[in-house]
Structure 1
Amino acid sequence: MHKIRLATLIEDEEYQKRFVHCLMNYYRDQFEIAIFSGIDQWVENQDMSYDVLILADLDTDHEFIRTQSKRGHPVLYLADTENEQDKELLGNQNLNPVENEDGGICFVDKYQDVNEIVSEILKHVGEEIQEVQKTGVLPVKTKVTAVYALTENEYQLPFAITLASILGEKENVLLLDLQENSGFRQLTGNDAGMGLEELLVMAEADSFSNTRMRDCIGKMDKIDYVYPVSNTECLCEANASAYLKILQMLQQEMEYGAIILNLGSRFQGFFEVLNHCQDVYLMQRRGGLCQWREYEFMEELHRKGYEQLERRLHRMELPILTNAVASCERLVEQWKWNEFGDLIRRTISGASGVMQVGG
């Protein structure tokens, strides 16, 4: 991935520190940043190549600012509309992007969500920024399936991966892992940085770009997957609105026939997300407290008004997995072609009720 090269000259040291810190926290995979503390330092390095120049707090040097707009790079000026010098800048016709044949300077509100500033940066380097379609209803072209365990959730991830791999033989499939410490990062051996965290940031901003979204996705066997989070606390801090927006973004732009959600702890609006799934595979075990847990789950489902979801539930009693953990590709192949995979094939071919293998 080509990183966008930013150069920042913001004379408010505290603001520059916080601004760069936000970019490095949430967008380190998208940006490289050169930080300048003053005009003299900038001039010494002005022959270096940047994709976007970001200026702020240059109170009176309009000539310097105007000169930068002629150097062939997009220039964003972070303006404080309450500041008298910035008001003067905004009223200066020589800097107006409409009047200036060289393109002028794009003035951006300095004190706004950093995601909005990032959207402006991406616009000026050719990224197409799109808004999340706030229809309240997910598009129907992609089937969304949830996998969730009331007990024995060690088998939940193998089920989700094997289900995705089997479906991936006939269509494009995406796996989205929302289960805390599921082992998926170790299984894929991939620590790619921003993945699900980046999608959550875009969902919060109600806007996304196709390129940034694709950079959040890796490939394994016959399926795609969103790079899992490194800080699992953010999984339950997000709510149904954020996860539904992510599904809308993916279905709006990507050509997936199916999205598999491997669910973990219940976040706010958990049942609302379940209700948007065409199928829900509920992992269960016989004996002990399992039947009581399922009873309480169904009771809560009805109490929240999602009783119609019961028709889409597939109760799964899984065989014990005894495969030694090998490479990801080898392990998935073992799961697919033993009794575990046979169970899943029978289930997705139209079987219902509790499915089990063996005694």
Structure 2
Amino acid sequence: MVQLKVAVLDKEREYLKQLAAYLVRKKECFFKVWTFWDMRAYERAAEAEVFDALLVTGACLEEMEIEKISSKIILFREDCIPGFAQHLPSVFKYQPVEEVFSQVSALLWQENPLQEEFVSGKRTKMTGVYSPVHVCSQMLFSLTMAQILGEHEKLLYINLQEHSGFYGVTGTDATEDIGDLIYGMMQNGQNFQTGLHRIRRTILNFDYIPPVVNPEHLSEIPQNLYEELFLDLKNNSGYDVVIVDFGNVFLGFAQMLSFFENIYCLEKEGGLNRIRMKEFTGYLEKESESTASRLKHIFLPDEMVLGEEPFSLEKSLYGSLGDYVRNWLGGPKIE
């Protein structure tokens, strides 16, 4: 997989140290980033390395010969945009680093040659998680699996549940969510990769698309857009694995599951639950026997159901839930 090469040129050394520390923690998969506070050091590096983009402050850019820069120039805007850089795309410097690179990512994915090279021959493995009996720990199971697989693979997590509790569990918020991505897909000329890499966020070692804030938006998504979404995720996202946490069944649900290599079906004990599972399995068999045969039935032990204590993603990775998921994935326990 090709990584986009980005040089960051800024005279503020302390900021560059913080930026570098963030990139080490995140283990960024889509970018390889070089940081420079000295212009001469950047120029020497540019002679040996071809950068896809140069993220540069106005103070640095003013001292350079713009016409000799072969990389895509993105102004690292600190305040107002200087007159000589009005024609350049820009990203505001003083915001969370995650926001900075989400915007840089979206700008770079607007370049068609980069898109083609970046995803050439790549098909993403799709994993679906669903509970017909509404196991309350479904999302926790999926997030734990995302952390485990994210240790070694580029992973994107998508939550399609209503009122999932995602923001409370993760301590995150969102200015845009998956509804905005879907809306962009409905607009003619909107590029899927650009929208995806603008909106994606990172937590721990995996990326995610912020879930819907208004659950009514999920009910407005037609079957053809779900199909387009899953096809684009499979063929054009650039990830190794995409995990989709399903909520309610929607029109065309059984057909959509054909896009998924793995389908985890979470169950729980009880006579009524067994009846509901039998009905769900019967529904799938009528729609697609091959899909029904690929269901992986999972009974989460009672002690792994979320209790009163605040849930911690890190704790789930190293606790009994993490060991249980690793066992399903065929990996060792963490001692």
TM-score by length of 2: 0.59
Q: Secondary structure at the match of 2:175?
A: coil
1:336 is the counterpart of 2:317:
yes
Answer yes or no: is the 8 Å Cα contact 2:130–2:246 preserved in 1.
yes
Answer yes or no: is the 8 Å Cα contact 1:235–1:267 preserved in 2.
no
How far has the Cα of 1:204 moved from its partner?
1.9
Answer yes or no: is the 8 Å Cα contact 1:129–1:209 preserved in 2.
no
Q: Secondary structure at the match of 1:154?
A: coil
Sort the Cα spacing of 1:273 and 1:334 in 2 relative to 1 into closer, same or farther, 3 A: same
How far has the Cα of 1:155 moved from its partner?
0.9
Instruction: After superposing the two structures, state which structure 1 stretch, 198-207 or 212-221, moved more.
Output: 198-207
Answer yes or no: is the 8 Å Cα contact 1:127–1:209 preserved in 2.
no
CA–CA distance in 2 between the matches of 1:127 and 1:221? 23
Q: Secondary structure at the match of 1:153?
A: coil
CA–CA distance in 2 between the matches of 1:177 and 1:129? 28
1:227 is the counterpart of 2:235:
no
The count of corresponding residues between Structure 1 and Structure 2 is 221
Look up the equivalent residue of 1:161 and give its one-letter code: L
Matched with 1:349 is: 330
How far has the Cα of 1:173 moved from its partner?
0.7
CA–CA distance in 1 between the matches of 2:182 and 2:160? 12
How far has the Cα of 1:128 moved from its partner?
3.2
How far has the Cα of 1:167 moved from its partner?
0.6
1:165 is the counterpart of 2:147:
yes
CA–CA distance in 1 between the matches of 2:293 and 2:315? 31
Which 5+ residue runs of structure 2 have no aligned equivalent? 1-79, 88-106, 113-120
State the Cα deviation string for residues 248-280 of structure 1 (Å, max 9, x = none). Answer: 333444321110010001111111111211111
Matched with 2:276 is: 293
CA–CA distance in 2 between the matches of 1:187 and 1:274? 27
Candidates 286, 290, 295, aligned match of 1:308: 290
Look up the equivalent residue of 1:298 and give its one-letter code: T
Question: Residues 1-359 of structure 1: matches in 2 within 5 Å?
Answer: 128=110, 141-205=123-187, 207-208=190-191, 210-304=193-287, 306-320=288-302, 321=304, 325-326=309-310, 331-349=312-330
How far has the Cα of 1:203 moved from its partner?
2.3
CA–CA distance in 1 between the matches of 2:108 and 2:291? 43
How far has the Cα of 1:226 moved from its partner?
0.1
Sort the Cα spacing of 1:163 and 1:197 in 2 relative to 1 into closer, same or farther, 3 A: same
State the Cα deviation string for residues 151-209 of structure 1 (Å, max 9, x = none). Answer: 24311100110111111111011110001111002222332222201211122236315
Q: Secondary structure at the match of 1:260?
A: strand
Answer yes or no: is the 8 Å Cα contact 1:238–1:268 preserved in 2.
no
Sort the Cα spacing of 1:167 and 1:287 in 2 relative to 1 into closer, same or farther, 3 A: same
CA–CA distance in 2 between the matches of 1:270 and 1:308? 14
How far has the Cα of 1:214 moved from its partner?
1.3
CA–CA distance in 2 between the matches of 1:140 and 1:310? 26
Sort the Cα spacing of 1:221 and 1:324 in 2 relative to 1 into closer, same or farther, 3 A: farther
How far has the Cα of 1:243 moved from its partner?
2.1
State the Cα deviation string for residues 36-78 of structure 1 (Å, max 9, x = none). Answer: xxxxxxxxxxxxx99xxxxxxxxxxxxxxxxxxxxx98xxxxx
Sort the Cα spacing of 1:211 and 1:152 in 2 relative to 1 into closer, same or farther, 3 A: closer
Look up the equivalent residue of 2:300 and give its one-letter code: L
Answer yes or no: is the 8 Å Cα contact 2:124–2:233 preserved in 1.
no
Q: RCO greater where, 1 or 2, for CA within 8 Å and sep 6 or more? A: 2
- State the structure with more CA Rg: 1
Sort the Cα spacing of 1:316 and 1:126 in 2 relative to 1 into closer, same or farther, 3 A: closer
Instruction: After superposing the two structures, state which structure 1 stretch, 219-228 or 180-189, moved more.
Output: 180-189
Q: Secondary structure at the match of 2:137?
A: helix
CA–CA distance in 2 between the matches of 1:303 and 1:253? 31
CA–CA distance in 2 between the matches of 1:194 and 1:252? 23
How far has the Cα of 1:311 moved from its partner?
2.6
Which 5+ residue runs of structure 1 have no aligned equivalent? 1-48, 51-71, 74-124, 131-138, 351-359
State the Cα deviation string for residues 323-357 of structure 1 (Å, max 9, x = none). Answer: 6544x7xx11221222222221121229xxxxxxx
Matched with 2:26 is: none
RMSD: 3.0
Sort the Cα spacing of 1:278 and 1:149 in 2 relative to 1 into closer, same or farther, 3 A: same
CA–CA distance in 2 between the matches of 1:169 and 1:129? 29
TM-score by length of 1: 0.55
Sort the Cα spacing of 1:127 and 1:149 in 2 relative to 1 into closer, same or farther, 3 A: closer
Q: Secondary structure at the match of 1:182?
A: coil
Q: Secondary structure at the match of 1:256?
A: coil
